[in-house]
Chains A and B, each alone.
Chain A
């Protein structure tokens, strides 16, 4: 008995027969006893190959987005005069335009590179928006409970029952075609996810020993919630933010694809590039393939990293 750490609270009633894997798992667990949550997570993260691949893809994407003007070589969204774009063909690779031109006569490489910047911008802004509003709602509901919890969470439940893309489409349609409305639409669709997640996480903390200990010291509710419960509840929210960033990038593309994004026809945006490539799928498939691959790879990078982060932070999924 002394070898094994105490079972996590709450699962005490359900005693299951142990397998050899559990024992091995426990040994690893004991090993990491003296290490803090975050440092242990970091250590597990570095050992996980999918975390490294995800981080590399994310890093590449962020670097490209940050240094877009240096990499691209041309101005984005500026059609080249006498570009030689005809209804049936676009100019192929040349020395000046290594990936050729797109259907509006803009350098394809420049568009792709600046598309990364656009995706990152919209992804980060909309996710921060969703995170801050959602987390505030979740904090009110989970930290203070009672009637606030009941009312707010029923509202969130209603929002959750609407598919997020549909919600984003309706909001974008109401707010009109602009980059800001895309950000708000995607952010709004994320609010219920973050609200529910943080609330659940806070409720879990509410039952823990150190929270009881804080109450026993006569600390005010505000102190207990903000200083004690919140920092311990952020793990899942951070993970969700990484995963949501991937979805946001896809949703930006989807909204542009549906014609709800930036009205400028030659704006450097991956989703818009997909729409424009539609008519030329037969003659020039690379116009659709390249931005498509970029969306997929970026989303994959964030998802891989997010999943790995979740595994690293969640003691139950430790291997």
Chain B
């Protein structure tokens, strides 16, 4: 599972280099020992190779963000237990010292957050926030850092970067701020970038620009990226591999084309069905997944999606359902008793190559 290769090779998918990041059976548990703990992340495994974009998709509360914070070691230390293993270039991060993690953060791996309005310090100029990171992790002097910061802002598409360095966050538009955040995250050329819903706070046109920018930066620099999103449109445009999460576990994992072409898990199927389509007849209502992510049962008793599943029956009440490979596709895994059928048309077209 950890050395899975995609059927849909990404920009650098052709080379079979070893994984940059391997997440293996990662668990995150909240709550004091005396009370019944909450399993926010419950045995998540995936790997990211250099230059690859891996998507983590799911509704709010499915454990996407907690997974990313656990990888970065940013979860609070009190009341949180992290289990399993996260290896960055073979180096174990779970249980590593804060000093090690602090040195790695920003230099080896960085993160772009959801809300550009609140993720920049309102009282410091943009330039300072960029140079600060550069001076922390590189040997650049004040002047060198300033020049590099200017260059970074130019690379992320901020016009007139020299002047912008002196601007405060409130003087930039939302899209600009997100670009500035991306510039800060990429300042020290990290090999792994975690983007936590980087486009949710932006309007649609700016979303497209920011995604295009991220895609370009990834292909140019060979940075690996974990894209956390609930927007399947983002996944379709950017990701090589996709992990669909539900209630703290991965329920389906596949290459992008596989996932969109032949979704097997009923949850993925539901997510895809709830997207408005350009080619659908006018006036046709959307088909949302009934219920909310809170209508769940513990994985240790049955499939957590069962209460919302359209095809649920008694067979679904299996404790700790396994993530199983698809019968025909080794790298398409799903966690479902009654997987969606592969339409005949897709079957023929998908199997020829």
Residues of chain A in range 198-226 having any CB-CB distance to chain B below 8 Å: 208-210, 212-220, 223
Q: Which of B119, B121, B170, B185 contacts A232 (CB 8 A)?
A: B121
At the interface, yes or no: A280 with Cβ under 8 Å from chain B? no
| A218 contacts B122, C-beta separation under 8 Å | no
| B133 contacts A219, C-beta separation under 8 Å | yes
| Residues of chain A with a CB closer than 8 A to B119's CB | 209-210, 212-213
At the interface, yes or no: A34 with Cβ under 8 Å from chain B? yes
| B123 contacts A218, C-beta separation under 8 Å | no
Q: In the complex, A215→B75 CA distance in Å?
A: 11
| Residues of chain A with a CB closer than 8 A to B103's CB | 218
Q: In the complex, A216→B133 CA distance in Å?
A: 10
Q: In the complex, A218→B328 CA distance in Å?
A: 44
| B121 contacts A216, C-beta separation under 8 Å | no
| B123 contacts A232, C-beta separation under 8 Å | yes
Whose C-beta in chain B lies nearest to the C-beta of A205? B121
| Residues of chain B with a CB closer than 8 A to A228's CB | 121, 124
Whose C-beta in chain B lies nearest to the C-beta of A9? B118
| A34 contacts B106, C-beta separation under 8 Å | no
At the interface, yes or no: A14 with Cβ under 8 Å from chain B? no
Residues of chain B in range 63-106 having any CB-CB distance to chain A below 8 Å: 72, 74, 101-106
| A213 contacts B106, C-beta separation under 8 Å | no
| Residues of chain A with a CB closer than 8 A to B124's CB | 227-228, 231
At the interface, yes or no: B245 with Cβ under 8 Å from chain A? no
Given known contacts A36-B168, A223-B132, A227-B132, is B121 in contact with A218 (CB within 8 Å)?
Answer: no
At the interface, yes or no: B226 with Cβ under 8 Å from chain A? no
CB 8 Å contact bits of A9-51 with B (1 = contact, 0 = none): 1000000000000000000000001111100000000000000
At the interface, yes or no: B115 with Cβ under 8 Å from chain A? yes
| A216 contacts B72, C-beta separation under 8 Å | yes
Question: What is the CB-to-nearest-CB distance from B307 to chain A, in angstroms, rounded to a whole number?
Answer: 23
| Residues of chain A with a CB closer than 8 A to B104's CB | 218
Given known contacts A34-B170, A209-B113, A212-B113, is B106 in contact with A217 (CB within 8 Å)?
Answer: yes
| Residues of chain B with a CB closer than 8 A to A220's CB | 102, 136
Given known contacts A36-B168, A209-B118, is B106 in contact with A219 (CB within 8 Å)?
Answer: yes
| Residues of chain A with a CB closer than 8 A to B189's CB | none
Whose C-beta in chain A lies nearest to the C-beta of B184? A217
Question: What is the CB-to-nearest-CB distance from A151 to chain B, in angstroms, rounded to a whole number?
Answer: 18
| Residues of chain A with a CB closer than 8 A to B121's CB | 210, 214, 227-228, 231-232
Whose C-beta in chain B lies nearest to the C-beta of A209? B118
Q: In the complex, A215→B132 CA distance in Å?
A: 12
Q: In the complex, A209→B178 CA distance in Å?
A: 14
Whose C-beta in chain B lies nearest to the C-beta of A34? B170
Q: Which of B110, B118, B136 contacts A208 (CB 8 A)?
A: B118
Of listed B72, B111, B121, B185, residue having the most chain A CB within 10 A: B121
Q: In the complex, A124→B192 CA distance in Å?
A: 52
| Residues of chain A with a CB closer than 8 A to B113's CB | 209, 212-213, 216
CB 8 Å contact bits of A165-198 with B (1 = contact, 0 = none): 0000000000000000000000000000000000
Q: In the complex, A206→B291 CA distance in Å?
A: 35
| B123 contacts A219, C-beta separation under 8 Å | no
At the interface, yes or no: B264 with Cβ under 8 Å from chain A? no
CB 8 Å contact bits of B103-140 with A (1 = contact, 0 = none): 11111001101010011111110001000110011000
Given known contacts A36-B170, A209-B118, A223-B136, is B74 in contact with A216 (CB within 8 Å)?
Answer: yes
Q: In the complex, A123→B72 CA distance in Å?
A: 49
Whose C-beta in chain A lies nearest to the C-beta of B122? A37
| B105 contacts A213, C-beta separation under 8 Å | no
CB 8 Å contact bits of B281-302 with A (1 = contact, 0 = none): 0000000000000000000000
Q: In the complex, A9→B104 CA distance in Å?
A: 29
| A232 contacts B122, C-beta separation under 8 Å | yes
- Report which A residues bind B (CB closer than 8 A): 9, 33-37, 208-210, 212-220, 223, 227-228, 231-232
Ordered by A's residue number, 13 sampled pairs between the chains whose C-beta atoms are within 8 Å are A35-B170, A209-B113, A209-B118, A210-B119, A210-B120, A210-B121, A213-B184, A215-B74, A216-B74, A216-B105, A217-B105, A217-B110, A219-B106
- Report which B residues bind A (CB closer than 8 A): 72, 74, 101-107, 110-111, 113, 115, 118-124, 128, 132-133, 136-137, 168, 170-171, 181, 184-185
**6 further interface pairs, Cβ-Cβ under 8 Å (given A210-B122, A212-B119):** A36-B168, A210-B120, A216-B106, A216-B113, A227-B128, A227-B132
